[in-house]
A and B are shown apart, each in its own frame.
Chain A
Amino acid sequence: MSKKLQALLRNSRMSGVILIALLLAVWQLSAMYLVRSPTWPTVTRIVEAWAENFADGTLPGHMLATFWRQMLGYGLAMILGVTLGLAMGYYRVLYNLFEPIVEVLRPIPGPAYLPVLVLFVGIGNEMKVVLILLAALFPILLNTYSGVRSIDRVQFDTARTLGLTTFQTFRELVLPAASPQILTGMRISLAISLILAILGEMIVSNDGLGYFTLLAQRTFKVPEMYAGIFTLAAFGYVLNRIFLVLEARLIRWHHESSGRT
Chain B
Amino acid sequence: MPDYLSVQGLEKRFSSHGRAAFHNLTFSVEQGAFVALIGPSGCGKSTLLHIMAGLSEPTAGGVRLEGQPIHRPRPDMMFVFQQYTKSIFPWKTVLENVMLGVKYRADVPRKGLEELCLRHLDMVGLGRYPNYYPYQLSGGMQQRVAIARALARRPKILLMDEPFSALDAMMRVELQDLLLALWRDLGLTILFVTHDLDEALYLGQRVLMLSASPGTIAEDVTVPLPYPRRQIETRSDPIYLELRERLYRNMVAQVMAGRTDAA
Contact = CB atoms under 8 A, between A and B. Distances in A.
A and B are interacting partners:
yes
Interface of A: 152, 154-155, 157-158, 160-165, 168, 172-173, 176-177, 179, 251, 253-254, 256-257
Contact of B90 (A154, A163, A168, A253): A253
B73 A160 contact: yes
A254 B90 contact: yes
A253 B135 contact: yes
| Residues of B contacting A: mostly | loop
Contact of B101 (A162, A173, A177, A257): A162
Given A161-B78, A162-B100, A155 B91 contact: no
B192 interface: no
Q: What is the interface residue range for chain B against chain A?
A: 20 to 34
Given A164-B104, A168-B104, A256 B87 contact: no
A226 B86 CA distance: 52
Contacts of A164: 100, 104
Given A154-B87, A163-B104, A257 B135 contact: yes
A163 B100 contact: no
Nearest to A153: B86
B129 interface: no
List the 6 closest pairs (A to B, CB-CB), nearest first.
A154-B86, A257-B135, A176-B91, A158-B87, A161-B79, A253-B91
Nearest to A175: B91
A157 B90 contact: no
Given A155-B89, A162-B149, 15 more contacts: A154-B83, A154-B86, A154-B87, A157-B50, A158-B81, A158-B89, A162-B100, A164-B100, A172-B89, A172-B100, A177-B89, A253-B91, A253-B135, A257-B90, A257-B135
Contact of A157 (B79, B92, B133): B79
Contacts of A179: 91
A258 to B, nearest CB: 9
Contacts of A172: 89, 100
